[in-house]
Every structure is written in C-alpha cells, then in structure tokens.
A and B are shown apart, each in its own frame.
Chain A
C-alpha cells in the first residue's frame, strides 16, 4: 500500500526514534538496565520514585548520546540541561519524566538515505537524553486491551533505563523513505555499540508524525503522531496507512484532528488514542535535582576517538574496493565478514570477487551451519590465495565455490583443497589440444556440419572435450581451440 505519486497530495513526515542505551545500570540509579528478571526486581527508591529519592546521572549514558550525536553529524552542545516533563501516568513513577527541552545534548545533524538509488538527506533536529517508563499490562475481560481492562499491573524494571530520543525535521516524504531512514539509524546505533536496537524487544521504537497537504503548497497540514511502531515494515505500513487515511478524510470533506494514534500490527490500521490538545501542557522546567551538563571539548575529543567507522563510510569504502553496492551494504552491517574483506583486499585480493563470496556462499554457509565466521576455518589468506587461483585460471568459478566450502570446513588452504579434490584446471594448451584433436577425430559428422555453417554442434564438441579432461580444462581455451579447428 503506497501512495500513488500522481495524486494531488503530498505527505510530510517526521520521525521520533527512542533508543534504549545498553548501559549496565539505569540512567539515574544503580539498578540493572537490562530489563530482565521478575517484575519489580530491578527497582530501588530512585526508579520507584519513593519519597526523598534523588536522580544521579549515569556518565556512560551521556557518552552514549554524545556518540549518537556525533555519528549523526550533530553539533554537540557543551552546555545542556535536564528538564522535568510533567504529566501524570501510572507507568511514570515520578509523574514527570526527566528529559531535555531547550539545550539538548545534540542538535542539527543529518542522515543520508538512498531511495531508488537517489541520495536524500534527512535533517536531525535534536538528539536528547531521557529516561524510560515502566511497563503496564492490562488484565481482565478485555484480554489485554486497554479500554476494556478491569485493572492494570505495573512493573518498574524498565523505569529509568536510559533513553535517547532522535527527532528528525519534517523532511521525509514517503513511507519507503521512512523505512530506509529507520534502517540506517538502526545500523548506525548498532555500529556504535551503544544499544542493541532490537525493534521487536522495544529497545528501539518509532513514533511517526504524519500530515498531508495539497501538492505544491507549503503550509503544514494538521499532523497525527502514530505510536507503537515496532518494526521497520510496520513503520512503512503505518505511515502509508496514515497518509491514505488522512487523504480520504480530507477528500471526504472532513478535518484531521491533532491526536496520538496507535498502530495495530494485526489489523494494519492506526486508531485514535487520545486527543492531544486537552493534556499537552507539560510545564517543562529545569530539574533542580540535576546539575547542568557540561561536555567539554576535551571530553568530546575522547568520545570522538572511540567512534568506529560508520556504515555509510564503510559502504562507500567497500564499493571503492570493488564490491557491488548490495554486497557493500551487507558487509557494512556484518562486521565479522567486513573484517575478512578488509584483510583480504589489503593483501591484494580483488574486492568484487571477495565480496561476492563473503555475502553469497559464505553467508549462506554460516546461516545453514548456524556458525560465526570465527568458528570456521576460513581466513583472509585463504581468500587471497583463492582469488589468485581463479585469476590465474587454475580454478573455475564453480570449482572456487567448492574450494571455499572446503576452507570453511577447515580442510586446509585453497591449493591443498583444490589438489585434494582434483579441481585444478588444465591450462596447458598442448595437452588440451590433444584432447580436442581426439574429440574432433571421433566426431566427424559434427565437424562437417560446422564446416557447412551449422554452428549447433559446437557446444556438443566443447562438452565432449570437457568430459575428456574430467572438467579440468580451462573452458575458454577449449572453446577457442574447437572453433579454430572446425571453423578455421
């Protein structure tokens, strides 16, 4: 379900992404932040908001958000502030969330995504630090649905887990672009190692702000915010649904309400949760329990030094190294394979072939065997040797794949494996010529047909020579010799 481009409407989309940082402890207390264990067993006075408890910020979490900001090309504010965002909700223990408002840690970044090969830049407005809420589950006859529940149970294990919110400019224009943005953001966060970014587990989640307007106009339409989007596919579907819904409402003469909507994965629809205007006075003010944040230039430099090469740069480098763009993308997302790629290419192997092997047969093998690359026998040296043998014509590309599998199974170096499996090609023209002559002598009918101009038997003769040589003859040479000796 995508919006047809020739409709008279265009969509304006902004994405808010929440990323739980994978620190050992929570944002403002020493309780474990892994969110595991029995309900309410990772709780203390601070994250339960008992009277008298005070928040103390986790230094590692601040490093984490600064890394994200740097990876998104943001300005890092040397001075930023924690605010209280006041709203009552039973899963929010203090009934305010510690968040940021003016002066977030990071501002003004961007993410590049390619839509159908065309590069687009999505502006990042801000990246700010906050804390997660607890989890509520609705029990009773309603069977988990919030409106019909008899009562609600609250577990505060997740309350206070460090949460980074990444807010885009309203720069996105299509559901597809939104999905690609989400995917790229996930790659970046994973590359930084600051979060496990598991969408299905909620450690990375999206809210989509969507509005539509007549194509060519500049004023924004009324927007809705869709929550509970927990996969990249859902992000695309939810936005597409919402665009179509809004267009239908407007074309039917209705108006869009500014509201929060809930994405339902099962029905594939968004539904209204609550109207925004009645409750949205968060009364932000600077949290007096927390000091101003200062991320000094020296600290920034220390953090910057720990940032690994990011996916976009990796992809560009792999493409420059000869990999196809699709293979480069896989390599950039798979550090184990990328390491082998880099080592093999550095040692002189051709990037294109190595990338194809790693992202093709090797990946399939790892998946089939459910193994990590480190648990196989394959090394960068093997790839270098294998590539050289193919280049020299000693191995056919088909034979190379056999050898590769052998290397993965730990059978030795490519040359050892190729010899053992008797896969090394005969490239000696004299010995191939002998075989060709023998085949031509044995098939006079075919030879005379070709002389009469019927080229069909050519393939048959080449096949016969290959059979004669046990598949080891270099097929290029065979083809050439057969043609010369029959056509002339």
Chain B
C-alpha cells in the first residue's frame, strides 16, 4: 500500500506516518521526487485496511493499496519518471543516452581504442564485460579484475562512465569498486540473492530482461532491488526466446511502451543482442527510440572479426557513428535530444 500526504503536510505529520508504519512491523519507503510526499509501505499488509490505519492521521491525503504485484517500481506509487544521475549523466530524463563498447574487455589497446571511438561518435557510457557469463564453460570467460582495471583506465582517459556486468554475490564489491553502473545480465535476472545484494548498494543498476521472463516477472525482479533500498534501477530489453531462428533473439519492442506505462524506471534497449545481426542493428535501434526507449546499449569492437565474443553482432566504430546519426534524427522526431558527453 502507499500513503499520499497532503501538499502542505508538515515534516512532523510525515514522521508520524513513518513511525506508525514501523510500529506495525512494516517498512516505510519514502518516495522522493514527487510533487506530493508519498510513502510506500512494504511488508505483509494482507488483511489491513489502508484507510482505517492511515486515512485519519493528520496531513494524510489518502492511503491506498497498489493494485499491481510490483509496488515501488510502479507508476501508481510514483508517477514521475525516475532519472538516475550517474556522475552528471542522467539515465531516464528527456535526453536519450547511448552506451557502447565491446562485449568483452580483451586488452588495453582494444578497450581504449573503442572508448575513444564511441565517445567521438556521441556515446556517454562505455560498456564492456570483465566477468562474462558464457554459455560454454570452455569459452573466454573475461579478464576479471584485470578487465575492470582496463575499464577504469578507459574512463580516466575519456571521461565515459563505465557499465559492466556483475555475475555473483562474491564479486559484487570488487566490481562495484570499479563500475559506475552495475549490469545484471539476463541469466541472473532472477538470481534473487544477487538482486538483494545489489539492493543494498548506492550504485545504479542496469537490469537486463531474462531470456524467457515476462514483463511482470522482470518488474518483480526490479522490485527486489528497490525494496532493499536501491532506487537507481534501469531496465534493459535485450530480446526474448521465441521459435524464430533467423535472429539471435526476438527484440520485444512491445515491452517499451508497456513498461513506460507501468513503471517510472528508465527503459534501455539492447538491439545488438535483440537481433544479433550486425547490418540490422541500426534498424531496430531506431525502432527502440521511436517506441519511446530512454537509451540504447550497443556492442562496438574495433575489429569485430577478431572479437573474442559476439563479433557477428558488434559494429565497427564507423558503423556505430552512422547508427548515432540515425538515432539522433529519430530522437528528434519524437521530441528528444541525445545526451552529449562533455
């Protein structure tokens, strides 16, 4: 349930509501950024009557149940879009953000060259995996901490923010000490221990959709993180598993407008994994932005044919430059700018 305060409710009245929630053995989550103060109530509220408990307290406008199973991520609870500030770069605001970089960090030269190229083309985040969840245990698993160090070097040189995947609870602290945004990969979308752990951090999270997760399951996974106190979560649609074999996955662009209506969290689209075919990545990137996505994450490699992973879907820096120009035009057509790095 959630309690909405009157516009001129005092701080003391607000505190009284918070105290009452605690006294019932429930957890209060004050929602920031709304015009009126709202506090979400998390815990076993079954059988409780919101109006009876809170409706008569001074300063309370209304107390309601949330009709969706996801609460804190729901637009019912927070109407305004969440904007995640990553050291001056906003994810989820008016501007579209573009994240780009190699699937895996392979060498200093590779990641620096890519970082410079994607920055020049207009990206504001550098993506790159140091811990790679590869389908086969015999494939390249990533450079681990060495990879994180190389990402930090690239950040130092270019000023780009770093998005990188964390695979397990054991390495969360290590990865968080280097990353600006922690990515939770598709295979870990329902790794609830990991979700709870990143929920205790003060670090933005990019939560990819599970390969066969419904939108509701995905929002519930985000709810795990937010309910632990970390409200900085962005969702990333990266394609779902279907019967189609002509493409790597089926990019579910339907999910973009559906999510934008159900949740206040930013929505990012990954066309590289979503279609998995290099020449067709720009087309679906355009579709993602036209349908209302807040950003894109794109695989770029200076020499895709030599990439240790995902080369067939990685763009060259030149192709990425062309994609950025197309995306700028589409963003303009839906009334949005593309965020420009300093």
Chain A bound to chain B: no
